[in-house]
Amino acid sequence: MRKILYLMLLLLPFSGMAQDGLRNNENRQRLEAIQIAFLTKELSLTTQDAEKFWPVYNKYQDELRGLLKNGGEEDVLTRQQKALDVRKKYKPDFVKILGGDRTNKLFQAEDKFREMVKRELQNRQKKRAGNQR
């Protein structure tokens, strides 16, 4: 777990709010790579599991991202319900690949990863604010 956090620290150089598209794309790709490593470790994915899991997971993520892009005007609870509906829609597919226990672990690991990234970004903002004084 510590190794992943250190990897995040090394690979996520967020250098301010006004970044060009290329820089944002690089950061997104790095974050996705870290997430793949994190989920692979958390779920103990074998090569066979991974071959089945990642295509389904990528479709799932694309659908969730679509909600975020298109749901900017919606009520927060409506958007959260739609995200929950997507999770429920894909759960049977994940259960077929991972089984019930690891599917639940997947959803927990996603939340854990988001929280880790959020904390890291907050820490970086605090450091930047401290350096500007």
What is the distance between the alpha carbons of residues 105 and 113, in angstroms, rounded to a whole number? 12
Q: Decide: helix, strand or coil at residue 106.
A: helix
What is the distance between the alpha carbons of residues 19 and 27, in angstroms, rounded to a whole number? 10
Find the helix or strand (DSSP H, E) in which 59 lies: helix 47-70
What pTM was estimated for this model as a whole? Answer: 0.76
pLDDT (tens digit, 9 = 90+) per residue, 4-34? 444 444 444 444 444 455 678 888 899 999 9
What is the distance between the alpha carbons of residues 13 and 29, in angstroms, rounded to a whole number? 12
> What total number of domains does the chain contain?
1
Range of the domain at 51: 2-132
Query: What percentage of the chain has pLDDT greater than the value 70?
Result: 80
pLDDT (tens digit, 9 = 90+) per residue, 31-54? 999 999 999 999 999 999 999 999
